Chains A and B, each alone.
Chain A
């Protein structure tokens, strides 16, 4: 069965620090990968997506992610975080069974 693992449950950073959140998936076929963000009290919004082509994907708000097929990874990065990036971040994979499966999420707290 497809699965998504996010090993960092809670990350605490200071403003201007660099961010990398890990995501690993288990699915042998063609994958479509996503990162979503959920701000406190809100629903999930798409940050970025990977379908094919350039493995380095740029999204909104300065976020980017790199797809590394050999490592089954799709890590999220941002060079310099802001207090407004405080949120929960979810990695997700779309499988050929028309399902979108999410990881358990990483809560990001930014110290002003």
Chain B
């Protein structure tokens, strides 16, 4: 059981380049999330999707776009990368319903923008 799979694991971009981070889950979860992790700031929510076909902004959405392609996949796009977007990005998914709401995380993508 793979759980949550993110690709790529590492990426270096030049300022102004674009890229898409891919995320897929095989747990039939309704909700999916993108977070960025920066030292001393914990995990900050970029975008989330409560269910297939819906997406909503989180705490730090500027400079990002997302697509909930289907129930399994939720991608994060950087249209014009900036050094401030250097971070570790985590995708997560969760089930709906009382007692099942915890998030399961992917292994992360370490992105460096130079």
Contacts and interface: CB of A to CB of B under 8 A. Distances in A.
A34 B40 contact: no
| Interface size of B as a range | 20 to 34
A49 B104 CA distance: 13
A51 B98 CA distance: 7
Contact of A90 (B42, B58, B99): B42
B101 A44 contact: no
A43 to B, nearest CB: 4
A18 B23 CA distance: 38
Q: Which A-B residue pairs are the 10 nearest by beta carbons?
A: A98-B50, A104-B42, A102-B43, A43-B105, A105-B42, A44-B105, A94-B101, A102-B42, A46-B102, A43-B107
Interface of A: 6, 9, 32, 34, 42-46, 49, 51-52, 90, 92, 94, 97-105
Interface of B: 31, 33, 35, 40-45, 48, 50, 56, 58-59, 90, 92, 94, 96, 98-99, 101-108
6 contacts: A32-B101, A34-B103, A43-B107, A44-B105, A45-B105, A94-B94
